[in-house]
């Protein structure tokens, strides 16, 4: 049976990954900061919920031990958690930047997902390639074990940045993209290769983007169901040749 761990599954895009994957019969492990406030997640079929604050390495270590004991492998890990900024709004100008807001955003959006990868990659290496393309199944040089998805954003692209602003969030996603690229190199070597992807969902109707919805044309604001369905098409078709890519919801590559 395929096993997927969705990190940051209490709301928004993470919850939608859990909903769609559990409805497919995948065993879902959903993590969140406070399981007592995650009734939507807990009500899903084939879903177990565990606590994990991504800024606390002890939580991540504890999670990895629970997953090893009860499941002993992972086929997919999605790092979905993120904050725009502790204030809920991106900085418009340099004078809005403050040390604590910047560090908190980097801890949640960049350091947290990398430390999750550190502790969960041994379990992804035990994956059976049950999620992703089976095109290279049986090909020892090309088959994959598990898939690691880091949810990123197009505003993390340095070359695409024509507007400025959102210092903390842009920096955090650019750093996450670098982490994903590094991971794709280290975890793509040898046997039991892990496909590492940085995926951008498009502007999606969730709490994170809510302060900006009035500026987004209705046809450019995706439902979580639409965005995650498109991202799962990418994940379902992924092979080791895709590892390290930074991909938008429609399958196009975003320049780093």
Ligand X SMILES: NC(=O)c1ccc[n+]([C@@H]2O[C@H](COP(=O)([O-])OP(=O)(O)OC[C@H]3O[C@@H](n4cnc5c(N)ncnc54)[C@H](OP(=O)(O)O)[C@@H]3O)[C@@H](O)[C@H]2O)c1
Q: Which is nearer to ligand X, 118 or 126 (CB)?
A: 118
> For residues 202-229, b (16+ Cβ closer than 10 Å) or e, as one string?
bbbbbebbeeeeeeeeeeebbebebbbe
User: Least Å distance between CB 178 and ligand X?
Assistant: 15
DSSP code of residue 156? G
Min separation Cβ 192 and ligand X, Å: 26
Interface positions with ligand X (CB under 6 A): 8, 10-14, 32-34, 53-55, 80-83, 108, 151, 153, 200-201, 203-204, 206-209
Nearer to ligand X, 171 or 208 (CB): 208
Q: How far apart are alpha carbons 192 and 144 in whole angstroms?
A: 6
C-beta nearest to ligand X: residue = 12
Strand locations in the chain (E): 3-7, 27-32, 47-51, 76-79, 146-151, 194-200, 246-248
Q: What whole-number distance in Å separates Cα of residue 106 and Cα of residue 54?
A: 11
Between CA 201 and CA 41 the distance in angstroms is 20
Closest by alpha carbon to 38, among 67, 84, 6?
6
CB 98, min distance to ligand X, A: 18
User: Based on CB atoms, which residue is closest to ligand X, 171 or 240?
Assistant: 171
Q: Which CB, 13 or 143, lies closer to ligand X?
A: 13
DSSP 255: P
Shortest CB 17 distance to ligand X, Å: 9
Q: Are 99 and 105 in contact (CB under 8 A)?
A: no
Q: How far is the CB of 155 from ligand X (least distance, A)?
A: 7
Please identify, using beta-carbon distances, which residue of 8 and 244 lies nearer to ligand X.
Answer: 8
């Amino acid at each position: 049976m395929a096993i997927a761990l969705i990190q940051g599954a209490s709301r928004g895009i993470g919850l939608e990954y859990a909903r769609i994957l559990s409805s497919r019969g995948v065993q879902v492990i959903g993590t969140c900061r406070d399981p007592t406030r995650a009734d939507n997640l807990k009500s899903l079929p084939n879903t177990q919920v565990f606590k994990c604050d991504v800024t606390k390495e002890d939580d991540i270590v504890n999670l990895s031990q629970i997953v090893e004991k009860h499941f002993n492998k992972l086929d997919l890990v999605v790092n979905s958690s993120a904050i725009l900024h502790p204030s809920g709004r991106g900085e418009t100008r340099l004078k809005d930047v403050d040390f604590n807001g910047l560090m908190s955003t980097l801890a949640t959006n960049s350091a947290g997902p990398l430390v999750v990868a550190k502790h969960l990659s041994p379990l992804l290496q035990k994956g059976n390639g049950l999620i992703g393309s089976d095109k290279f199944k049986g090909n020892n040089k090309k088959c994959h074990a598990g898939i690691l998805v880091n949810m990123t954003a197009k505003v993390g692209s340095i070359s695409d940045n024509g507007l400025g602003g959102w210092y903390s969030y842009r920096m955090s996603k650019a750093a996450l993209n670098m982490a994903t690229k590094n991971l794709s190199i280290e975890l793509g070597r040898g046997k039991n290769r892990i496909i590492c992807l940085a995926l951008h969902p498009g502007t999606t109707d969730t709490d994170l983007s809510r302060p900006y919805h009035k500026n987004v044309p209705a046809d450019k604001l995706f439902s979580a169901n639409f965005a995650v369905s498109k991202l799962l098409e990418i994940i379902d078709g992924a092979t080791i040749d895709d590892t390290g890519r930074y991909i938008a919801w429609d399958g196009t590559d975003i320049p780093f």
